[in-house]
Amino acid sequence: MQWTEVRQTYPDQWLVIEALEAETDTDHKRQLKQIAVVECCPDGNAALLSYRRLHQQYPMRELYFAHTSREQLDIREQMWVGIRRSYAPVSQR
C-alpha cells in the first residue's frame, strides 16, 4: 500500500507501519514507496509502546508509528555518531 491508500483504509487512527520499499532523497528524507500496516492502536501512547516492543523484537525491520490525519509522512534520517550503549563492547578485567 501507499500512504494515501493507508489513510483511506484506516481513517483517523494511530498505526504502526513497516516500510517494505523505501529510499532516501538528497535531503535525508525517507520516501516510503510501499507500506504495510502492522498494528492499529487506540491512541498515540499505545502506538509508541507497540512500536518499541516490535522494534526490540525485530530490530532490522523499518518500523514507524503515525496518525492517518497526516497528509504526508515526514520521516528524516538521523546520522548517529559514536557507539550506542547496547552495542558497546564490555571490558572484562
| Mean pLDDT in residue range 42-49 | 97
Q: How confident is the model at residue 43 (pLDDT cuts 50, 70, 90)?
A: very high
Asked whether 35 and 2 are in contact (CB, 8 A), the reply is yes
What residue type is 77 in one-letter code? E
What residue type is 30 in one-letter code? R
Q: Where are the domains of the chain?
A: 3-77
pLDDT at 87: 56
- Beta partners for residue 75, in sequence order: 30
pLDDT at 78: 81
Beta-carbon neighbour count of residue 25 at 10 Å?
A: 9
Phi, psi of 42 (to 5 degrees): -70, -25
